[in-house]
Copies of this chain bind each other. A is one copy, B any other.
């Protein structure tokens, strides 16, 4: 056995790509866990095919999973992978363009047969025609080794072949010195009812590991040191799970049952799926007949004293706007989650975008203001959901929470918070008559919030509706000054929330940055990563990120004016930039990318560098 050298790496981006049937998501997941346990910081991003079940071997059927892990704090799933594992020609065809120059390409040689090559649109075999010259290519007959390794285990050939993803996992585990016990234990637990499959999977995994160790193909393994991390218990979490759990946490911390009413739509369906599993938290989930019914029922539940939540994506947001407007008039707590995707219309349902900001703020007839918050990282989805609930309940208002496809699908390690340390939310139900003349449903408190008196409370019976209401009494009123007063009160209530949110923080280590990058939403990782990187190469750049899109933190103007230039990168055509320009008459520049793809740290490098060298 030749001895292999161990090379140290600071960061690595690996992408597993194969047919939908090849189990790439699972492979990625397992690699992630082994990486996490090693103490690397990491971020991941799956890339599902748009088709439900495309024919095997086709381009449409390619499924991929990317992981970025490092010995330092990282913030994105990575841009160009350093390593690409391609389980078949189609996977190579659709993913190769992203691989870094001279990157490592590991292919399942067995899959490069004529039929598959043809399906992938290759007229010649790329393994042979010299077209892969720019990469370090490793041809590994994964299928056949797997089949051999599992011989005599009583599996059909097809069943045996199915374990080839475990082979790939084993190989990569060896290559990056990942612990094997984590995976072994998981396989044992997962397949404990199917001993044949269990054995085959373990055998394939070991075969992959040993292949790396023994074959002369690979000269060295890599080590990525653990990243320094705060002490605590960690888990890896995807944005959609974190968001759902944040809602559950809001329920626990407020004592209000969650009433999640939604109509399935990619990529928001995940929230419905996740929440429907937590009935033992008294979470009520209702799959409504459409988006309008979904929000209607959520609003009804809020009136009845629960925490109404509805989730959707762009097309559904459009449909909900009329009822959101009713919620604005009723001044009841309500959370509307919009997991943004590429539009207009049906657009590209599986692709990311963040172009619903203006619709969230202004997409309703009349003057219909409400708070808007946006999550910035997968784990931050948890906090932002809690924050949305806090605002909704305290201020008796619908809140729109923006996420997006990229955030929902990608994941990162999350240091689990202490449950008792999470913010408490006091529903502060009205129980007493609040005025000499009886109960006044629109008599406001110091936050301009009105009382929330729920059915069943004696003495507080009242009727509310979408017609303009008289200040204090809530009676219907067509009176001119009252309408103006109410319009202003509704706006003032939302504006006042600015007193109750954290100031905008700036990441500006030296304090002498010339360019401020102002972000919101899922661009956080790309911006933060790039700002740190470019700063290291001498650029004077700072980063601030908005969680609260309405109202803004009180200090935003001061922050913005501190910098010579302000750059606002967005996955839309410049929506936040427009708002900033309008409010402060400040010549904020816009960097936009509307490709259904996240903004990458590399994109930001370019934007920052261009601005700070020119």
What residues make up the interface of A, taking CB atoms closer than 8 Å to B? 50, 313-315, 317-319, 321-322, 325-326, 328-330, 338, 340, 342-351, 353, 355-356, 358-359, 362-368, 465-468, 478, 480-481, 483-484, 487-488, 490-491, 572-573, 575, 578-579, 581-583, 585-587, 593-597
A367 contacts B351, C-beta separation under 8 Å: no
Measured between beta carbons, the chain B residues less than 8 angstroms from A364 are 318, 343-344, 359, 363
Complex CA gap A326/B318 in Å reads 12
Measured between beta carbons, the chain B residues less than 8 angstroms from A347 are 329, 366, 466-468
The chain B residue sitting closest to A368, CB to CB, is B344
CB distance from A53 to the nearest CB of B (A): 17
Partner of A595, one of B338, B483, B585: B483
Measured between beta carbons, the chain B residues less than 8 angstroms from A491 are 573
Measured between beta carbons, the chain B residues less than 8 angstroms from A481 are 595
CB distance from A248 to the nearest CB of B (A): 27
Measured between beta carbons, the chain B residues less than 8 angstroms from A586 are 585
- Given the known interface contacts A343-B365, A587-B585, the answer about A318 and B321 at a Cβ–Cβ threshold of 8 Å is yes
Complex CA gap A572/B121 in Å reads 57
> Contacts A328-B344, A468-B596 given; 4 further ones with Cβ under 8 A?
A313-B365, A362-B362, A480-B596, A585-B587
Measured between beta carbons, the chain B residues less than 8 angstroms from A595 are 480-481, 483-484
B359 contacts A362, C-beta separation under 8 Å: yes
Complex CA gap A350/B362 in Å reads 22
Complex CA gap A579/B581 in Å reads 9
The chain B residue sitting closest to A577, CB to CB, is B582
Interface centre among A347, A583, A593 (most CB of B within 10 A): A347
The chain B residue sitting closest to A370, CB to CB, is B344
CB distance from A474 to the nearest CB of B (A): 14
Complex CA gap A348/B348 in Å reads 39
B362 contacts A363, C-beta separation under 8 Å: yes
CB distance from A553 to the nearest CB of B (A): 20
B345 contacts A466, C-beta separation under 8 Å: yes
- Given the known interface contacts A483-B594, A585-B587, the answer about A367 and B318 at a Cβ–Cβ threshold of 8 Å is no
Complex CA gap A593/B368 in Å reads 15
CB distance from A334 to the nearest CB of B (A): 13
The chain B residue sitting closest to A340, CB to CB, is B365
Complex CA gap A583/B579 in Å reads 10
CB distance from A531 to the nearest CB of B (A): 24
* Top-9 shortest CB links A-B: A343-B366, A314-B365, A345-B466, A582-B582, A480-B595, A346-B466, A358-B362, A344-B368, A363-B363
A318 contacts B365, C-beta separation under 8 Å: yes
Interface centre among A328, A358, A579 (most CB of B within 10 A): A358
Measured between beta carbons, the chain B residues less than 8 angstroms from A322 are 315, 318-319, 345
Measured between beta carbons, the chain B residues less than 8 angstroms from A340 are 365
Measured between beta carbons, the chain B residues less than 8 angstroms from A587 are 585
Partner of A355, one of B365, B480, B578, B596: B365
- Given the known interface contacts A321-B318, A368-B344, A587-B585, the answer about A487 and B594 at a Cβ–Cβ threshold of 8 Å is yes
B348 contacts A467, C-beta separation under 8 Å: yes
Complex CA gap A313/B363 in Å reads 14
Measured between beta carbons, the chain B residues less than 8 angstroms from A483 are 342, 348, 351, 594-596
CB distance from A299 to the nearest CB of B (A): 11
A365 contacts B344, C-beta separation under 8 Å: yes
Complex CA gap A467/B593 in Å reads 19
B478 contacts A594, C-beta separation under 8 Å: no
Complex CA gap A356/B321 in Å reads 13
Measured between beta carbons, the chain B residues less than 8 angstroms from A572 are 367
Complex CA gap A428/B492 in Å reads 51
The chain B residue sitting closest to A330, CB to CB, is B345
Measured between beta carbons, the chain B residues less than 8 angstroms from A583 are 581
CB distance from A549 to the nearest CB of B (A): 14
Complex CA gap A411/B358 in Å reads 35
CB distance from A345 to the nearest CB of B (A): 3
Interface centre among A364, A481, A582 (most CB of B within 10 A): A364
The chain B residue sitting closest to A578, CB to CB, is B582
Partner of A325, one of B345, B578, B581: B345
Partner of A484, one of B330, B487, B593: B593
B345 contacts A315, C-beta separation under 8 Å: no
Measured between beta carbons, the chain B residues less than 8 angstroms from A594 are 367, 483-484, 487-488
B368 contacts A343, C-beta separation under 8 Å: yes
- Given the known interface contacts A483-B595, A578-B582, the answer about A344 and B366 at a Cβ–Cβ threshold of 8 Å is yes
Partner of A50, one of B466, B478, B488: B478
Complex CA gap A349/B483 in Å reads 12
CB distance from A131 to the nearest CB of B (A): 21
Measured between beta carbons, the chain B residues less than 8 angstroms from A359 are 321, 362-365
Complex CA gap A256/B481 in Å reads 46
Interface centre among A465, A468, A583 (most CB of B within 10 A): A468
Complex CA gap A343/B345 in Å reads 26
CB distance from A348 to the nearest CB of B (A): 5
CB distance from A349 to the nearest CB of B (A): 8
19 chain-A/chain-B pairs, Cβ below 8 angstroms:
A314-B366, A315-B365, A317-B365, A319-B319, A322-B345, A325-B344, A326-B344, A329-B345, A330-B345, A342-B366, A342-B483, A344-B367, A346-B467, A347-B467, A348-B468, A356-B366, A359-B363, A483-B596, A581-B585
- Given the known interface contacts A481-B595, A491-B573, A582-B579, the answer about A325 and B318 at a Cβ–Cβ threshold of 8 Å is yes
